């Protein structure tokens, strides 16, 4: 598997058949980057996994102030597609996923 997480947060990965469920805990309850972090996780898995896999990304229960809204954004195909059409957001995601050689 080519998935590597280099974040200061907890990420839980459940794999059942062709379904990947990822629950992550943002660093703080009101983290403004939660949707970007979730989008980065989704893009990384989309790039690594064959298309037959279903990916479900969510904020761990009780760990974010707007958990339901963030989860809805991260798992809505149209919203994800629209986000990935934004060149600035794609650049940010690519920068987050770029290898770090520190």
In a domain, 60, yes or no: yes
pLDDT digits (tens, 9 = 90+) for 24-76: 988 888 888 899 999 999 999 999 989 999 999 999 999 899 999 999 999 99
Paired tokens of 87: 């060149």
Query: Can you give the residue range of the structural domain that contains 84?
Result: 11-97
In a domain, 2, yes or no: no
Q: How many CB atoms lie within 10 A of CB 2?
A: 8
Q: Between 100 and 41, whose confidence is greater?
A: 41
Would you say residue 7 has pLDDT above 90? no
Q: What is the CATH classification number for the domain harbouring 75?
A: 3.30.300
The whole-number pLDDT of residue 9 equals 62
Total tally of structural domains belonging to the chain: 1
In a domain, 102, yes or no: no
Nearest to 97 by CA among 42, 50, 28, 22: 42
The whole-number pLDDT of residue 11 equals 76
In a domain, 5, yes or no: no
Identify the band that residue 102 occupies on the pLDDT scale cut at 50, 70 and 90.
low
In a domain, 36, yes or no: yes
In a domain, 78, yes or no: yes
- SS3 labels along 37-89: HHHHHHHHHHHHCCCCCEEEEEECCCCCCCHHHHHHHHCCHHHHHHHCCCHHH
């Amino acid at each position: 598997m080519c998935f590597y997480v280099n974040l200061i947060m907890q990420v839980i990965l459940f794999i059942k058949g062709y379904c990947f469920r990822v629950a992550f805990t943002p660093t703080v309850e009101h983290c403004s980057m939660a949707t970007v972090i979730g989008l980065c996780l989704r893009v990384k898995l989309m790039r690594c996994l064959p298309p037959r896999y279903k990916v479900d990304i969510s904020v761990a229960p009780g760990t974010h102030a707007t958990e339901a809204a963030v989860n809805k954004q991260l798992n809505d195909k149209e919203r994800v597609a629209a986000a990935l059409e934004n060149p600035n957001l794609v650049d940010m995601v690519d920068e987050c996923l770029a290898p770090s050689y520190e």
